[in-house]
Structure 1
Amino acid sequence: MIIDQNIKFTGGCLVDNDRLVLTSVDNDIEFYSDYSEFSFWDTSNINDLTFTTLEVKNWADNMVRYISAQEEFNGLCCLSPVGKVFFIQDGKIVSIETLNEVERWGNLRNIVQIGGQLYVCGNKGQIYQRVEKNKWQHIDDSILSEQDRKAGVKERKKMRDEVINSLPEEQRTMENITRVLDERKKQEKKQGNRNLSAINGYCSNDIYVCGTSPGSKEGGVVFHYNGINWQRLTVPTTDGLLSIYLHDENTVYIGGYNGYLLKGNYRDGFIEISDSTNLVSIDNFVSIAGRVFLSTNKGVRQLKDDKVVTVDMYDELNQVASELLNDTVIIDVYGDNLLIVGKKVVCRYSFKESKINFLLSVIGQDDN
């Protein structure tokens, strides 16, 4: 399907073998603006795709499948940077939960399901665990100290006071104060350090997070959680770290900016297996059909023998949508299918059929 719209895709997730959800924004909308569009696609007839759309007043792009028999929920959860979690089922947003303290900190980055529970991490070192419906708790002690918490409250109060004092007395209405505060927060988001970028784990007492250590010499950081305390792990010097992949019970891969790649675990330590000639930023890992694929800022790649290489289906993909081999992509897996989402193109590779299926592309105004 060809779509003539001025949009770019920002997220994608497979619901099952036939259905998928995409998030998109208009090309002229700034990163992290308060707007996104969900589109719910049925691809059961590859020659006649059907979809519905829904607009929300939040940036939303990070998604995870979530199943809870107790809540009678089987769908997706989508995280917005400002602390909204959208629960999506059967093409509808059935509920929205809010992490109330998020405005004191920075953007939220990643949502995952570990041991049947949802976890979220964010830019200022905050980590949340969802303990029950509509109830999230901090589990970031020893990463986000009480001093940090108090500082966060003071920073927000200081910002509000500065905004009020900057306005002429006759303009100090709630509407004006809120508007200027929102502008300040947006600017802060663009300039803020990326702290915790990814979270993943085997169970509630075996969890990893990674990110960037703030400061003049930013580098990668990795923490491990044993269910009680977080421990900062000693890892080789890297640039900021972005993604975590649990390969097996003893092997964890952690990817970062500029091709940095670590391998190991909290017990035995991590080693660097980066290739200095491969400078892609590794945003995510997925595994399917005995293979490991990576989403990067330079297309979909594959991990073979601890090396980041071109994908096995390179020739087929190059014929159908070459931009997915060269530009930023998002990937997801379900069953026998690998979803590959670019800014303007969406494809799905079926390992059952050993075939690339072109799903849709956008031919509207370029986003440059």
Structure 2
Amino acid sequence: MSADLEFTNAKALDKDSIYISGSLDSMPAYSQHTRLCILDFQANHLWSKHDVDWWNAGLEIFVENDDTEWQLLALSNEGSIEFICSSRNPIVEKIPGAGVYSTDAKGWGYMRRLRQIGDHLYAVGGAGQVYKRLGANHWEHMDDGILQLPTVEDRLLLADINGATEDDIYICGGIPGAYGLEGRLYHWDGKQWSTLILPTTERLTAIHVDDNKKIWICGTNGTLLFGNWINGFKDLSSIDDNQLFYSLTKFNDRIYLASNLGLYVYDGTAIKEVRTGLVPELQDANVIDAADGVLWSIGSKDIARFDGTTWERIHHPDNPPIGGSSINGGKP
């Protein structure tokens, strides 16, 4: 089946390959259906894809123990995780209790993000759900003090989890408050969670870990925070910034931010729009990610990569070309 796609998630694998999820334009919004696609310039077939009957909430690479083989992971909003690797058929695990309509759902809500930190996988979701994978089909709560009752009205919606080590982890999100969904940030020190003081009330959406002392967090209304749990966080955004930042990453000593208004970069002084030289310019960006010396930008319909010198737009075969199948631009 071929149909127009709206890209929803992405994970950069290396300079020549990326894992992308998308929803079909022909189906209602947030339908329980996702197309998972792999772009690989080194493969015999540029694109490979398969469809699943659930909504994708996150993508991740997982290297288990001393195994050097990648496993590509896709998390459903109901808490199922598909594992794909070249040496075996795909397998699926389910986080017990997660989700809304799953038969084992406890009422906490949908899952939102999946990450490998250290040797383990971690996942977060609604009502303060935080899980750690201890082994195959062995997921356990690690949300003591954060997990809410399923009946709570003001629900904590966790959006991301990331950390330098497994005893230095951050989770972020938002909870209803006087100013709408207000940001929340927590830190795990290996024993317990602590709530961190924020310089903003804006909802937080994503975390990038540079090292254990350099943590970058983005959010609504142009929010960009920098700091750590020991020294606190500083708000680097200005009152003129009104972008909704979905994700962020570091590339060539700059922080790039994906937003509903396009691609932005923090150059150490201010947040500025990235001009790629592509025709047309990037209109939005859902995900920004870097791997193997290449920066990848994924918008609702647009795929582009940057090698530090030149931007290139990449055509997905399920969508009409944007300004041609592939266009090279100039410097940002």
The residue number in structure 2 matching 1:83 is 79
**Counterpart check, 1:56 vs 2:52:** yes
The 3 A distance-change label for structure 1 pair 123 and 287 is: same
Q: 1:71 to 1:101 in 2, by over 3 A?
A: farther
Which AA in structure 1 matches 2:7? Answer: F
Query: In the alignment, does 2:164 pair up with 1:202?
Result: yes
- Residues 212 and 228, structure 2, Cα contact 8 Å, conserved in 1: no
Distance 1:124 1:31 in 2: 23
Larger Cα-atom Rg: 1
> Which range moved further: 230-239 or 244-253?
244-253
Residue of structure 2 in register with 1:271 after alignment: 234
Q: Deviations over 1:10-51 (max 9, x none)?
A: 122233332322211111433432100112222238xx9622
List per-residue Cα deviations over 1:259-298 (Å, max 9, x = no partner).
Answer: 1222221111222222111111121111223222111111
Partner of 2:257: 294
1:176-202, Cα deviation, whole Å (9 max, x unpaired):
xxxxxxxxxxxxxxx985611111111
Q: Secondary structure at the match of 2:42?
A: coil
1:349 equivalent in structure 2: 306
1:316 aligned residue (277, 281, 287) = 277
Mapped pair 1:251 → 2:214 = yes
Give the direction of change, closer, same or farther, for the CA distance of 1:306–1:197 in structure 2 (3 Å limit): farther
What TM-score do you get using the length of structure 1 for normalisation? Answer: 0.77
Aligned residue type for 1:94: P
Identify if the C-alpha distance between structure 1 residues 91 and 340 changes in structure 2 by more than 3 Å, giving closer, same or farther: farther
Q: Which residue of 2 aligns with 1:13?
A: 11
Paired residue for 2:28?
A: 30
Give the structure 2 partner of residue 171 of structure 1.
none
1:95 partner letter: I
DSSP 3-state at the match of 2:221: helix
Residue identity (%): 27
Whole-Å Cα distance in 2 between the matches of residues 243 and 294 of structure 1? 10
Preserved CA contact (<8 Å) 2:285 2:297: no
Q: Distance in 2 between matches of 1:67 and 1:306?
A: 36
Contact 1:15 1:75 in 2 (8 A): no
Alignment-derived partner of residue 174 in structure 1: none
Q: Using the alignment, how far apart are the partners of 1:71 and 1:315 within structure 2?
A: 38
Q: CA 1:355–1:119 in structure 2 vs 1: closer, same or farther (change >3 Å)?
A: same
User: Is the 2:163–2:212 Cα contact (8 Å) retained in structure 1?
Assistant: no
What pairs with 1:1-368 in structure 2 (closer than 5 Å)?
5-44=3-42, 50-69=46-65, 73-90=69-86, 94-102=90-98, 103-104=105-106, 105-144=108-147, 148=148, 151-152=149-150, 155=151, 195-217=157-179, 218-311=181-274, 314-317=275-278, 319=279, 321-322=280-281, 324=282, 326-351=283-308, 354-361=309-316, 362-363=319-320
| Pairwise CA distance, 1:59 | 0.8
Residue 326 (structure 2) aligns with: none
| CA spacing shift, 1:192–1:31, aligned 2, 3 Å | farther
One-letter code aligned to 2:20: L
In structure 1, the partner of 2:330 is none
Q: Are residues 308 and 207 of structure 1, via their aligned partners in 2, closer, same or farther at CA, if it must alter by over 3 Å?
A: same
- Residues 24 and 207 of structure 1: CA distance in aligned 2, closer, same or farther (over 3 Å): same
C-alpha separation between the residues in 2 aligned to 1:274 and 1:66? 33
CA–CA distance in structure 2, aligned partners of residues 308 and 36 of structure 1:
33
User: For the residues of structure 1 that align with 2:154 and 2:84, how far apart are their CA atoms?
Assistant: 30
Distance in 2 (CA, whole Å) between partners of 1:363 and 1:92 is 34
Separation in 1 of the partners of 2:304 and 2:112? Answer: 25
CA distance in 1, matches of 2:80, 2:91: 10
Q: Which has the higher helix share?
A: 1
Q: Taking structure 1 as reference, are residues 253 and 195 closer, same or farther at Cα in structure 2, changes over 3 Å only?
A: same
Q: 5+ residue gaps in structure 1?
A: 157-190
- The unaligned stretches of length 5 or more in structure 2 are 99-104, 322-332
Measure, in 2, the Cα distance between the counterparts of 1:91 and 1:34. Answer: 28
TM-score, L = length of structure 2: 0.85
Number of equivalent positions: 311
- Aligned in 2, Cα 1:282/1:267: closer, same or farther, shift over 3 Å? same
Distance (Å, rounded) in 1 between the aligned partners of 2:69 and 2:204: 32
Local SS of the residue matching 1:348: strand
Which of the pair is proportionally richer in strand? 2
Determine if contact 1:23/1:39 at 8 Å carries over to the other structure: yes
Q: Is the 8 A contact 1:238 1:260 kept in 2?
A: no
